[in-house]
Amino acid sequence: MSTEPLLSAEGLCYSYLERFAALADVSLEVQRGERLALLGANGCGKSTLLKILAGLIFPDRGSYRAFGEEVSEPKIEDEQFSRGFRARVGFVFQNSDAQVFSPTVREEIAFGPLQLGLAPGEIEERMNDVVALLEIGELIERAPYQLSAGQKKRVAIASVLVMNPELLLLDEPTAGLDPRSRHWLLELMGELGAAGKTIVFATHELEQLEWVADRCLVLSEAHRLLAEGAPSEILSDRELLLRANLIHEHTHQRGALLHSHPHERGHHG
């Protein structure tokens, strides 16, 4: 029992509208406390995989177990299971506009705990802590449309953390953020990982990967699993990164830090 991984998925297949494949035979395991990065180019199925792991959509084929229980559509209809599962899994969407849907930041943060039926006093307490942690005290009475992208992301993360999930799923968490917010978010993910949270996140940015992830899965543009390994292994496999469309042939690599220069015409035929 103790050896069972926190999440295990076997042969996941998913297609949109029964026509457009998003995942083809993907299997994975996530250990408790692990920080796993899903790497892949745009449209390779990272978001779909995360949504399956979050129990928001269900695979056409394949099985998925989480917290020692099978996760399926009929099962999630069960009130107790759904409550237990939703309380354990937090999902930070790529599009903060979709995630932050309440009239005010306060109501947004309270939404999750309220649905789970926590006591008002405890909600208040947790809300204060999470607001302090994410430094959004002055935003609490604001409406979401008055927030910047970085502030919206903080609110989205606060609204998930307040539920104290065991497993955090983040879809492209740093996309569209300015450098300071990016740095702050990566640090936060580091802290949460150190605090024992299991973190699965999707990204196609390779900077600071070694710092925030213990292990990487690489998805191909054919929606299949291409490789699996420690960040240092994956990052040193230039051929693999090229095949996954995570770098282009003019990306230079110095140690773990990647940087690139614009494609200059004339150097190549």
> Positive or negative CA dihedral for 21, 27, 31, 37?
negative
Of 152 and 182, which has the nearer Cβ to another protein?
152
CB count in 10 Å sphere of residue 255: 9
* Chosen residue from 2, 79, 80, 259 binding another protein by CB under 8 A: 79
Question: Is 112 near another protein (CB under 8 A)?
Answer: yes
Least distance in Å: CB of 96 to another protein?
10
Side-chain-facing half-sphere of 68: CA atoms under 13 Å: 6
Residue range at the interface with another protein (CB under 8 A); choices 174-182, 195-203, 210-218, 244-252: 244-252
Distances (CA, A) of 208 to 37, 88, 141: 11, 27, 34
When asked if residue 255 is in the footprint of another protein (CB under 8 A), the reply is: no
Helix spans in the chain (H): 46-53, 73-77, 79-88, 96-99, 105-116, 120-133, 149-161, 179-194, 209-212, 231-236, 238-243
Is 159 one of the binding residues for another protein (CB under 8 A)? yes
Residue 40 makes contact with another protein by CB under 8 A: no
In sequence order, what are the beta bridge partners of 199?
35, 168
98 sits near another protein (criterion: CB under 8 A): yes
Task: Name the residue nearer to another protein (CB basis): 159 or 208.
Answer: 159
**Nearer Cβ to another protein, position 183 or 248?**
248
What value, to the nearest 5°, has the Cα angle with vertex 134 and ends 131 and 138? 55
User: Which structure tokens are listed for 77?
Assistant: 């209809």
CB 196 within 8 A of CB 126: no
Of 104, 164, 181, 236, the one binding another protein by CB under 8 A: 104
101 near another protein (CB under 8 A): yes
Q: Enumerate binding residues for another protein (CB under 8 A).
A: 17, 51, 54, 56-57, 79, 82-83, 86-87, 89-91, 93, 95, 97-99, 101-104, 106-107, 110-112, 114-117, 120, 141, 143-145, 159-160, 163, 248-250, 263, 265, 268
